[in-house]
Amino acid sequence: MAWKRNPAPKSVYRRQLSAQLKRLHDESGKTLAEVGQLIEVNQGSLSRIMNGDRGTTPVLAKAILDCYGLTDPALREDILDLVRADQAQRKKWWRKYSAVINTTQYGGYLELEQSATSLSSYEPQLIPGLLQTPEYARQVIAAMRVDLRIGEIEALVEVRMNRQDILSSEGASPPKLWAVVDEAAFRRVQSQPAVLRRQLEHLLEAESSPNVTLQFLPFEAGLHPALSGPFMLMTFADPNPDVVWVENLTNSVYFEGSNDVAHYSVVFDHLRATAFGPPETRTRIRNLLKEL
């Protein structure tokens, strides 16, 4: 099983860069030692760049491309664009929240979420973070993180709200979010009717977006293959592999092996087939609002 603990995932751009450099390297017939000697870079550092384990700079990337004899101006610029994009992505908006993010296993997840083309979420107990209101998020974080001070809770609420910007990114193609949410999540905060009302209203608003699909998994659906818990399946532009993120109480892991991802994809397809479709989901949410 391909799994990693406390991951610091490679950016999507770095993965693409790695694939391009490996192709050029294989075609060149040179060894890494020869390339490193020609461009005066330590072989170990060059290997990490080639594998996508570390970033590089446009200046060093140009030297590598020159060494491989790449003269095609369009292809050179495409590769340099990947280098620049990776550099820009490393300037993370969430860096100022690092004190609280690190303790919640968020670091690696945010990098992946920001670059995904589609997000498939299953939540048995909570409304997905990308669809939460500030009031709901505050209640959830305070309940789950009894070790945090009020200021730290507010910082995590801000992070959660800032994450939601990806669903309505102007000037870019926002990812598609498909969420299957168990009925328990819709009823979890009934002791806070005002909070739940606003959250349900927000779901109806968010679900009207063309890149958001929400499905209600009712209690009467009975047992299903995802009883082990929540997960997020993230898809990226080729040639980057899909990733499954699983978070638990004390740790977070991601799976990128093809067999693992395929298994979660099958489970998610089963959930989609079992849950109510979007029209019936909207009806159920409106009925819950009437109950309040």
Residues 112 and 244 in one domain: yes
Residue-wise pLDDT for 176-209, tens only, equals 999 999 999 999 888 889 999 999 999 999 999 9
Domain presence at residue 141: no
Q: CATH no. for residue 109?
A: 3.30.870.10
Mean pLDDT computed over every residue of the chain: 87
**For residue 180, what are the β-bridge partners?**
122, 215
Domain presence at residue 148: no
Residues 17 and 71 in one domain: yes
Residues 79 and 116 in one domain: no
Among 46-50, 88-92, 128-132, 137-141, where is mean pLDDT lowest? 88-92
Q: Number of folded domains in the chain?
A: 2
Give pLDDT, residue 9.
52
Report the distance separating Cα 143 and Cα 37, nearest Å: 56
Answer yes or no: are the C-beta atoms of 241 and 204 closer than 8 Å.
Answer: no
- Give this prediction's pTM: 0.72
Q: Which amino acid is at 259?
A: N
Which element (helix H / strand E) includes 251? none
Residue-wise pLDDT for 33-76, tens only, equals 999 898 888 888 889 898 888 888 999 999 999 999 999 999 99
How many Å separate Cα 215 from the centre of its chain?
Answer: 20
Ramachandran assignment for 133, one of left (phi > 0), alpha (psi -120 to 50 degrees), beta (any other): beta
